[in-house]
């Protein structure tokens, strides 16, 4: 037998058995993204006046009330719908737009990294400038506070606010846009199945 044909046969036989589980990765993506989006939307909703001010004054967006409402609704409503896997592809679109706005309007000038990690090959000048500031913070805490207690739940760090998370979430949502909510694991699948059965009757 041709070795390539033999390889393809073994490959198809082995990985073909995993096909019934192909809804699991979209499910995991949805369950990962949902609380992130809901939390972000919740923060915007509970401080809506501040959100509007931020959209208008800080970001300079037109119609800040409308833009703030749309972003809040997309994240809160979209997050809930992601849990159920309902209208997954449609929900992914406004959420992807929100992530693009976050990446380019809010975080772009800060570079890639979310945290200031000077050891990273992705560290920019902003990250490197945070090094002496972090050292000064640690020095002050050690001199005037209980440093061991203060850092018992985590070390001191400086937020850089780069595009890392926004791009990561965008790519996850893009994947869901193409795969949908997932076989067996989403309401989309079961609604589509019920619709096909009704049409066949």
pLDDT in tens, 163-180: 999 999 999 999 999 999
Q: Residue 61, exposed/middle/buried by CB under 10 A (0-12, 13-18, 19+)?
A: middle
Q: What is the pLDDT of residues 20-51, one digit of tens each?
A: 889 999 999 999 999 999 999 999 999 999 99
Is the pLDDT at 5 greater than 70? The verdict is: yes
Question: 64-84 and 88-101 are packed helices; what angle lies between their axes, rounded to 10 degrees?
Answer: 140
The stretch 148-165 carries a mean pLDDT of 94
What pLDDT, in 10s, does the model give residues 177-200?
999 999 999 999 999 998 888 877
Mean pLDDT of 119-132: 95
Which among 100, 102, 137, 143 has a CA at the least distance from the CA of 116?
A: 137
Please state, for a pLDDT cut of 90, what percent of the chain lies above it. 85
pLDDT at position 97 is: 96
Rounded Cα distance, 52 and 164, in Å: 24
Mean pLDDT for the stretch of residues 61-88 = 96
Distance CA 122, CA 119 (A): 8
Neighbours of 96 (CB within 10 A): 19
Question: What average pLDDT score do residues 134-154 get?
Answer: 94
pLDDT at 1 over 70: no
Mean pLDDT of the chain: 93
Tell me the CA end-to-end span of the chain in Å, nearest whole number: 46
Listing DSSP states for 111-136 in one string gives -S-SB--TTSTT--HHHHHHHHHHHH
pLDDT band at 94 (very low <50, low <70, confident <90, very high): very high
Angle (CA) 39-105-64 rounded to 5° is 70
181 Cβ contact list (under 8 Å, min separation 6): 23, 26, 27, 30, 85, 86, 88, 187, 188, 189
Pair 118, 128: CB distance under 8 Å? yes
* Across 72-94, average pLDDT: 97
- 47 and 151 in contact (C-beta within 8 Å)? no
Split at pLDDT 50, 70, 90, the class of 151 is: very high
């Amino acid at each position: 037998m041709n070795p390539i044909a033999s390889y393809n046969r073994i490959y198809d036989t082995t990985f073909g058995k995993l096909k019934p589980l192909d809804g699991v990765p979209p499910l995991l993506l949805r369950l990962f993204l949902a609380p992130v989006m809901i939390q972000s939307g919740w923060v915007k909703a509970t401080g809506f006046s501040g959100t509007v001010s931020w959209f208008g004054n800080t970001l300079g967006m037109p119609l800040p009330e409308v833009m703030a409402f749309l972003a809040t609704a997309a994240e809160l409503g979209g997050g809930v719908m992601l849990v159920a896997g309902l209208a997954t592809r449609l929900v992914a679109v406004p959420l992807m737009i929100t992530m693009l706005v976050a990446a380019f309007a809010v975080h772009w000038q800060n570079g890639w990294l979310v945290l200031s990690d000077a050891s990273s090959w992705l560290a920019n000048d902003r990250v490197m400038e945070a090094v002496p500031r972090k050292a000064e913070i640690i020095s002050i805490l050690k001199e005037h506070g209980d440093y061991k207690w203060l850092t018992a739940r985590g070390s001191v760090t400086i937020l850089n606010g780069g595009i890392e998370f926004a791009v990561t979430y965008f790519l996850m949502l893009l994947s869901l846009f193409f795969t949908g909510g997932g076989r067996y694991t989403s309401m989309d699948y079961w609604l589509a199945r019920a619709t096909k059965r009704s049409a066949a009757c």
